[in-house]
């Protein structure tokens, strides 16, 4: 069996110039398949609010939601690093609350690390969590939990003050002990400059090929959604049409009596049949 991926592996991969492949996972069977495929890290992202729960943003997702899904994922895998997302406000109220919430994701959920959206203002919180033994993945650029404050899901880092703020943030977060940083919806040139500046790996989503790794949302990359697909997505499968096609065949089979067939049916053994025969008669 291949060795487990740890935060140390992330650093070693950056140093060796090996790219990190991360995918979101929210349940047991999916996590198992992604492990089998050799994915290095699984993110139990609050994107589950949109792709699993059918919400229009990630804001309604709760810590208990993340915990519920993290348990399923960690139960399934031994090799990938499992990172649990800190949902809206779970890392904003106080350092103590953040510590308690992150601690639950690790202790009760079995996560190996947590991810937090936010900039330099989180540096002290990250430092405290790392001191307590909780590895933190930072997340800058487009931070979907702030969608209402940002005014939409737009690319971040096109203007000087914005980029300066982002550079200050990633520097502060690295110094505070974050082991990696997600760069979401950031122009490729900016993401590449950040990647070169940091010793910790950058994981891009809509941030170009210059990052140290990439992350995609499972439902988007597998074509398992009828909702909005972001421009940065690459679709590797067409699960939605496969499922619709299969379900149509099932409906048709039920209608025509093709299902269940003899292979899916249990029959009485001759002795059982003989004993029950009188009861099986329609006029009994």
Taking CB under 6 A as the criterion, the residue among 5, 7, 14, 24 binding ligand KIV is 24
Residue from 23, 83, 205, 222 in contact with ligand KIV (CB under 6 A): 205
Binding ligand KIV (rule: CB under 6 A), the pick from 85, 192, 212, 220 is: 85
DSSP designation for 209: T
Active site residue 162: no
Contacts of 258 (CB under 8 A, 6+ apart): 252
For the CB of residue 229, give the shortest distance to ligand KIV in the complex, in Å. 13
The residue within the footprint of ligand KIV, chosen from 111, 137, 182, 221 (CB under 6 A), is 182
Of 78, 1, 3, nearest to 34 by C-alpha is 78
Nearer to ligand KIV, 30 or 47 (CB): 47
Residue that is written with structure tokens 């993290």 in the block:
70
CB of 180 to ligand KIV, least distance (A): 11
Residue 9 CB-half CA count within 13 A: 16
Q: b/e for 6-21, b at 16 or more Cβ within 10 A? A: ebebbbebbeeeeebb
Report the residue number, 54 or 248, with the smaller CB distance to ligand KIV: 54
Q: Name, in order, each residue with C-beta under 8 angstroms of 4's C-beta and a sequence gap of 6 or more.
A: 78, 79, 81
145 part of the interface to ligand KIV, by CB under 6 A: no
Task: Count the residues of the shown chain that bind ligand KIV, applying the rule CB under 6 A.
Answer: 11
- Judged by beta carbon, residue 24 or residue 195, the one nearer ligand KIV is 24
CA dist 55 to 60, 114, 257, Å?
8, 22, 38
DSSP, collapsed to helix, strand or coil, labels residue 140 as strand
Q: In what helix (H) or strand (E) does residue 21 lie, and over which residues does it extend?
A: strand 20-24
Which member of 35, 117, 174, 184 is catalytic? 184
55 φ/ψ angles, rounded to the nearest 5 degrees: -80, 160
For ligand KIV, which stretch binds (CB under 6 A), given 4-12, 39-47, 128-136, 158-166?
39-47
Is 177 an interacting residue with respect to ligand KIV (CB under 6 A)? no
Would you say 146 or 259 has its CB closer to ligand KIV?
146
Among 20, 43, 63, 113, binds ligand KIV (CB under 6 A): 43
Task: By CB under 6 A, name the binding residues for ligand KIV.
Answer: 24, 43, 45-47, 85, 182, 184, 205, 215, 217
| Catalytic site positions | 184
């Amino acid at each position: 069996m291949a060795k487990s991926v740890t935060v140390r592996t992330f650093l070693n991969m950056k140093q060796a110039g090996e790219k990190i492949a991360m995918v979101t996972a929210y349940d047991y069977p999916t996590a198992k398949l992604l492990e089998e495929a050799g994915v290095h890290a699984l993110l139990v992202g609050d994107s589950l609010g949109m792709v699993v729960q059918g919400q229009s943003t990630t804001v309604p997702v709760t810590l208990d939601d993340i915990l519920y899904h993290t348990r399923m994922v960690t139960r399934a895998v031994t090799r990938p690093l499992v990172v649990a997302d800190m949902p809206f406000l779970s890392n904003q109220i106080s350092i103590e609350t953040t510590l308690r919430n992150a601690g639950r994701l690790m202790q009760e959920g079995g996560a190996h690390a947590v991810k937090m959206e936010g900039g330099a203002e989180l540096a002290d919180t990250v430092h405290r969590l790392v001191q307590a033994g909780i590895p933190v993945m930072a997340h800058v650029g487009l931070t979907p939990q702030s969608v209402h404050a940002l005014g939409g899901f737009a690319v971040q880092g096109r203007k000087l003050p914005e980029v300066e703020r982002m550079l200050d943030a990633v520097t502060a977060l690295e110094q505070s002990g974050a082991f990696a940083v997600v760069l979401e919806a950031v122009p490729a040139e900016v993401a590449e400059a950040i990647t070169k500046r940091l010793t910790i790996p950058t994981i891009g989503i809509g941030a170009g090929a210059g990052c140290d790794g990439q992350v995609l949302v499972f439902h988007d990359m597998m074509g398992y959604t009828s909702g909005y697909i972001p421009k940065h997505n690459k679709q590797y499968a067409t699960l939605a049409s496969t499922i619709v096609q299969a379900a149509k065949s099932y409906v048709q089979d039920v209608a025509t009596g093709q299902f269940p067939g003899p292979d899916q049916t249990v029959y009485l053994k001759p002795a059982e049949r003989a004993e029950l025969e009188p009861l099986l008669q329609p006029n009994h």
